[in-house]
Amino acid sequence: MKKLIACLAFLSLLTSCNVTETIVFTEDGSGEFLMTYDMGEMLTQMKETMGGGNDNLEKKEPGKVIDTTMIFADIMKVYKDSVAALPEEQRLAMEYVKDMYMTMQMDEDAEKMNMGIGMKFKSIEDLKGIQDKIRKAQSLDEKNATFNAMKNQSPLGSITENNDKVDYLYSTSQFSRVTTVEEKTQDEIQELEFILSQEDETSKEILGFYESSYYQVKLVFPKRVKSVNTEGAVISEDGKTMTYKVSWIDYIKNPKSLDVNVTFYE
């Protein structure tokens, strides 16, 4: 249970790292959804801060290697007494995401660290509300302390919370990803415009990090892709896998920049 909370604490902090949203479909319309957060750069920065980047003639101990998957339903079963003792809000959140799982892979020596949260689905209908489920999983971090810390430290923290609704439509002939954008208040619009216009070095550095970080979508189909309406999409040699991405800055400005419509060869 402690390992789960620690992973959730990491997950709640991941607003501006590289994110990949992957959906894999099988012939019968079932599949798997996985949101992966690449924290390799964060791990490198942590090592440099702690002096790990300095040359050291002494033999170093091998770095930590982790490769684990935690299934919420199994955790709820094994630690049912602990789950029952959680505050009602957290207990209900656990119940809401019980069909999901979390992954963590870390190799300190290779400076690689990835976390993910995903779900296997029987039909595209199961993905209704998936973004809300991910937010619920992130909220399980005790008192949401790490998320609040990130918000307070980042000039974009107050406006990167994304409550937009994403729908996925899938048939034998096409696939669509459609975002319904939550309307921003005039104050929120002005705040974003003000932040993006700042010229001081600190703001430029942080905004540059958001600009270089990306949100990527990877789609794997059982049929070959015939056409796609997203500029810059890359299609694999077998024609069944496509990827496209936008920078976090572009995504913050326009969440619909990740929307796509794909048609298949019959």
How far is residue 235 CA from its own chain's centroid?
A: 22
pLDDT one-digit tens code per residue, 65-117: 888 888 889 988 888 888 888 888 888 888 888 999 988 888 878 878 888 89
What one-letter code names the amino acid at 141?
A: D
Domain total of the chain: 1
Residue ranges with strand state E in the chain: 18-25, 31-38, 65-71, 101-107, 112-121, 165-170, 174-180, 214-220, 225-228, 234-235, 241-247, 260-264
Q: What number of residues does the chain have?
A: 266
pLDDT one-digit tens code per residue, 238-257: 999 999 999 888 888 888 99
80 close to 98: Cβ distance less than 8 angstroms: no
List residues bridging with 18 in a β-sheet. 38
Distance CA 7, CA 139 (A): 12
Residue 25: CB atoms within 10 A of its CB come to 19
Tell me which residue range forms the domain holding 137.
2-54+61-264
The reply to whether the predicted model has a pTM over 0.85 is no
Residue 257: CB atoms within 10 A of its CB come to 17
List residues bridging with 179 in a β-sheet. 166
Quick one: tokens of 95? 């119940």
| Mean pLDDT, 10 residues at a time, the chain of 266 residues | 50 62 97 88 54 51 82 87 85 88 85 88 95 81 48 47 85 96 73 69 67 90 96 96 92 91 95
Calculated CA dihedral for residues 228, 232, 237, 239, nearest 10 degrees: -10
